[in-house]
């Protein structure tokens, strides 16, 4: 549940926790600089989703190696699922825990330097 949803509903749910986890995870992955951009790309149906993942990741460390890149893609995919606009589309925290415990990268994704947000959004949990 986004802040706006919380303001209107005046009710805290477990989906709020999931959303918050997604926001914090996006903050970590993007270095805090692109979280709003990533969330807005997701929330607007007509927005361009061809943004390259490498352009929203924190630029301070270099792009990770292939094995680590797969894990970064898996965590980013999970974070994107957690900030879905519709609270019912978000995973439960139990599902988040399970996904982090096994951390399987989405199958057949392009390399991280070619990966787009739309690729991750179409690869559901």
Residue-wise pLDDT tens digits, 101-115: 987 766 677 888 888
CB-CB contact of 117 with 80 (8 Å): yes
**Per residue in 45-97, pLDDT tens?**
545 567 788 887 888 877 777 778 888 888 988 998 898 888 898 999 999 99
Domain locations in the chain as residue ranges: 3-122
Q: Which residue has the tokens 């301070």?
A: 60
- The matching CATH number, chosen from 2.60.120.40, 3.50.50.60, 3.40.50.720, 1.10.510.10, for 3-122 is 1.10.510.10
Instruction: Specify the higher pLDDT residue, 9 or 107.
Output: 107
CA dihedral 125, 1, 59, 110 (to 10 degrees): 20
- CA distances to 55, 64, 73, 120 from 108, rounded to whole Å, are 20, 18, 12, 11
pLDDT for residue 48: 53
Q: How many residues are there in the chain?
A: 125
Mean pLDDT of 20-31: 88
């Amino acid at each position: 549940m986004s802040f706006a949803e919380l303001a209107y509903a005046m009710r805290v749910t477990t989906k709020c926790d999931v959303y918050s986890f997604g926001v914090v995870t996006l903050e970590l992955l993007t270095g805090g600089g692109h979280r709003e951009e990533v969330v807005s790309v997701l929330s607007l149906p007509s927005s361009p989703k061809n943004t390259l993942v490498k352009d929203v990741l924190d630029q301070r460390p270099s792009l990770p190696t292939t094995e680590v890149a797969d894990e970064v893609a898996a965590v980013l995919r999970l974070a994107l699922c957690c900030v879905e606009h519709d609270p019912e589309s978000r995973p439960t925290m139990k599902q988040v825990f399970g996904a982090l415990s096994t951390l399987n990268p989405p199958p057949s994704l392009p390399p991280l330097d070619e990966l787009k947000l739309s690729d991750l959004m179409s690869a559901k949990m």
